[in-house]
Amino acid sequence: MSGSESELQKRLKGIQWQNGNCLSCTWFATKDPLNADLFDRAKCIHPKLKIYQLVVSGRDWCNLYEEIKQKQIEHKQELALKAEEKSG
């Protein structure tokens, strides 16, 4: 990223994703990581479940939950931010 942070980048640093449900799971394939919340719906991409093309909400949960790392969240948000800057 550039040396000077935009206002959006500063706000993103303060965002915490909720713990223990699909929203905070590695396998929750949200399309909008900048605005992800419990009511978002996305595909579950867990290798064992992917074949079923499950669409779950951020507030759902299962026994295959694997917590997403903060670095992964930041990477997804950074990619989305770059894409948004290119299109806008």
Residue 28 in any domain: the answer is yes
Residue 76 maps to a domain? yes
Answering whether pTM is above 0.75, one says: no
Please give the tally of structural domains in the chain: 1
Per-residue tens of pLDDT for the chain, all 88 residues: 455 677 777 666 655 555 689 999 999 999 898 888 889 999 999 999 999 999 999 999 888 999 999 999 999 999 999 998 888 7
Domain assignment of residue 5, yes or no = no
70 lies in a domain? Answer: yes
SS (H, E, C) the chain: CCCCCCHHHHHHHCCCCCCCCHHHECCEECCCCCCCCCCCEEEECCCCCHHHCCEEECCCCCCCCCECCHHHHHHHHHHHHHHHHHHC
Domain-embedded: residue 30: yes
* pLDDT for the residue 34: 87
**Residue-range definition of the domain harbouring residue 56:** 17-80
* Predicted pLDDT of residue 1: 47
Q: Does a structural domain hold residue 33? A: yes
Query: Does a structural domain hold residue 22?
Result: yes
